[in-house]
Amino acid sequence: MVAVPEPRFAVNSYSTPHNTIFDDIEQVARVGGAAVGVWEGKFADGDDERILAALDEHGLGTSFAVPAMHSILSIPFERPGLPTDVSRRADLICASVERLAPFRPQVIAVAPGTSGKADEPIGPVEDIVRMLPRIADAAAAHGLQIGLELLAKRRGSALADLPQAVAVVDEVNRPNVGILLDVFHSWCEPDLQNRLRKYGSRINSVQVCDAKVDERGGFDREYPGRGRAAAPAMIATLIEQGYTGYWELEVFSDDGTYGNDYPDSYWKLPHEQFLREAKKAFDESWAEALKILEQRHGAPA
């Protein structure tokens, strides 16, 4: 028997590029979400108190807060003019931690970096190890966790699998640093289910979506349980390992916003319709995960 918590569905603001943060809050509440993953890039100067008030008014928490620039090493889609020096980048992330702390997120999301090219992974990893303690300490001062996002090898990540990510977290040696796991990035990791069991206690945040069978790029994702349908089995194993946090939707589906105008882009839908469809897909994936658990262990508690 496995104890199954009630699923807490959230939506990361990166998933809705044509919404304001206030649109996100209203729409996530209407589709039955429990939290918004706020992205600082949607904040206007002086908006913070209004955003906090709107979350409170709609009964929503904050899932994973994303700094305006959240990657220690660079990423291909960040806005022009950002510094490339990793120490300066760490300073900017720390400043964002200070701004985002009042939102009391489950984690502050921090990415290691990607090149966008599988055969040219970004690096060096040593720069991540040097900068992450500074960011972790800034978060710890507010009682907050860091979710170090595990990104895919096929996207040119500096940290491409669970053993590598855990090794970095161990070397950083800060108790408030865990791993942010994303279905899109990790579905194809070798021996994934056993690795989730081995390292499940190190995962402090989970983003749900799925991968298309014929993936056209990093901004070409699928609803949970669709396409390769990797989400249900991953959800089931994470429940087994005791994960009780938010299940945060992050579906990128480029309509030209990031350079690829996919004709079947979900972002071409009104965003609330997109979120309703995604929530339905998550609910179906959750039900499938419970069936998987029943097959493994008998009826869940």
**CATH at 166:** 3.20.20.150
Give me 13's structure tokens: 């603001």
In a domain, 44, yes or no: yes
- The stretch 57-71 carries a mean pLDDT of 97
d(CA 130, CA 123): 12
pTM as predicted: 0.96
Q: Which domain holds residue 262?
A: 8-297
Number of structural domains in the chain: 1
Residue 3 lies in a domain: no
| pLDDT, tens digit (0-9, with 9 covering 90-100), for 107-124 | 999 999 888 887 888 888
Q: Is the pLDDT of residue 154 over 90?
A: no
- Determine, yes or no, domain membership for 1: no
Tell me phi and psi for residue 74, to 5 degrees: -70, 165
Q: Name the percent of the chain lying above pLDDT 70.
A: 99
173 Rama sector, left if φ>0, alpha if ψ -120 to 50, beta otherwise? left
When mean pLDDT is compared across 2-11, 35-44, 97-106, 133-142, the lowest value belongs to 2-11
The answer to whether the beta carbons of residues 80 and 57 sit under 8 Å apart is no
Average pLDDT, the chain: 95
Residue matched to tokens 């640093």: 177
C-beta of residue 273 within 8 angstroms of C-beta of residue 265 = no
Least confident interval from 12-21, 74-83, 209-218, 245-254: 74-83
- Residue 2 in any domain: the answer is no
Length of the chain: 301
For residue 262, tell me if it sits in a domain: yes
